[in-house]
Structure 1
């Protein structure tokens, strides 16, 4: 693992891993709507070998393994060892024998290619050096191989994150990563939201035939309002502001709860808290030389 990623890896292996486990019911079930729609478009064929970048709990890797069949392989990689251990345990429990996992740095590490396809669901926005990661992923693909990634679009199109962040910013002092002395998640969920910047990055990494498709759907952000507020205070930009503020963030939590109650109330439905979400499905091809 490259030393420049040490702080980010530590965050994903400790505090963020613990929070992801706590809210796994929202992160897996809610976000899978986006990957399900993406899978309908990329349709990994039987026998294909597919890399799942930033696989997290490995639920998307297991889905890919089902699609490629016993003659294919789904290979999940993540920088955080705790996520990989969890993914391996789930694969073993489900007796999915064509899903494999390893701890790796997608920016610089050996990705154990070649692969026919690569996939990433919300796994590329936190790279410290995304251009290097795109180049490394392309080098792991066979000529003609396709990389599909799902990333969040603009903040304003994802009010479940943005409204919570705006509410918290009015109450909690914002501390920069470098000033906090704490581990952090990296650039953040909207770092890949600009298609011009991302297409230029992918072109610079050597990809061609780069396409963007917008996909919108409502996702469940809480079983009830208390669950949604706890989710917002733990993860995403709002949760990061509170955590990095340390004691000051803890002190102001009662005010934050009141503000988030008001901000998230419009999303209440009889079956939970549902809010609009918007992503890009980005496809890029490794040229055939």
Structure 2
């Protein structure tokens, strides 16, 4: 899609940097975050015959599961800005014969979406808006009155050992960027009071934050080296190395230290580390 509008930086990032990387790591990432996404989907109370909007649908795993839950009498629209991820999503839907799902290449902050929907769902896909209040107001317009919202988002970095340990490891070798905590990014919705205000001003009511602390299977239960590879490609360590334009020698030093740091978390089921999320629910007023 065109790299334009208030989310131009995110559109470029998810098409040129993150999108291809996530496609390559699809199976690993999905296995890791699937249990958290399933909790939020359960809270959404999806029923047969409903129309559902999946925001930040990525490679379509959640869209297909929502399609299974609404059944042939319902429908699901997955929305994302990443062309590489949507290509994978459409291929997955075709292979599954999922006739009740569709995908839109669109910026959910600015695009008029084909509502009205009965529910809005997102698995770690709503924290990247440049203007989140405007984005949620736009999404609210796509919902019927009384529709449900349910999404899962990360709490603060300090509460997520699976990301904090790589960040502190990288910080021993190079400067780790300290972005504005409210800037678009994985932790932008860590502040529950702020998010409640954003949603209420956008037209949502009965906003609730459910804290969930759960041991995460890093890299979906793969080997210690597999977990190290994933953490070197995603998250704070990866961002720091990319910002520093780190050479091979520095990358290998960070990798070696990271392997040592997470080795105590390795066991028969792979590397398991703590995670902390919010499951946010609300109603369209």
* Alignment root-mean-square deviation, CA: 1.6
Partner of 1:228: 227
C-alpha distance in structure 1 between counterparts of 2:14 and 2:202, whole Å:
26
DSSP 3-state at the match of 2:7 = helix
Partner of 1:141: 143
2:201 to 177, 193, 204: 204
**Could you list the per-position Cα deviations for residues 151-189 of structure 1 after superposition, in whole angstroms to 9, with x for gaps in the alignment?**
011212211111111111221234688xxxxxxxx7221
Structure 1, unaligned stretches of length 5 or more? 178-185
Q: Contact conserved, 1:175 with 1:245, CA < 8 A, in 2?
A: no
Matches within 5 A, 1:244-259: 244-246=243-245, 248=246, 250-259=248-257
Deviation at 1:109, TM superposition (A): 1.0
**Could you list the per-position Cα deviations for residues 172-225 of structure 1 after superposition, in whole angstroms to 9, with x for gaps in the alignment?**
234688xxxxxxxx7221110111111011111121110111122222213112
DSSP 3-state at the match of 1:83 = helix
1:23 to 22, 25, 33: 25
Q: Contact conserved, 2:207 with 2:281, CA < 8 A, in 1?
A: yes
**Could you list the per-position Cα deviations for residues 212-256 of structure 1 after superposition, in whole angstroms to 9, with x for gaps in the alignment?**
11122222213112111111111112111111211x354411220
Deviation at 1:131, TM superposition (A): 1.4
DSSP 3-state at the match of 2:163 = helix
Partner of 2:105: 103
Q: How many residues align?
A: 278
C-alpha distance in structure 2 between counterparts of 1:114 and 1:277, whole Å:
34
Partner of 2:283: 285
C-alpha distance in structure 1 between counterparts of 2:264 and 2:95, whole Å:
39
Structure 2, unaligned stretches of length 5 or more? none
Partner of 1:238: 237
**Could you list the per-position Cα deviations for residues 33-64 of structure 1 after superposition, in whole angstroms to 9, with x for gaps in the alignment?**
01222222222111100000000011000000
For normalisation by structure 2, the TM-score amounts to 0.92
Q: Contact conserved, 1:47 with 1:68, CA < 8 A, in 2?
A: yes
DSSP 3-state at the match of 2:207 = strand
DSSP 3-state at the match of 1:190 = coil
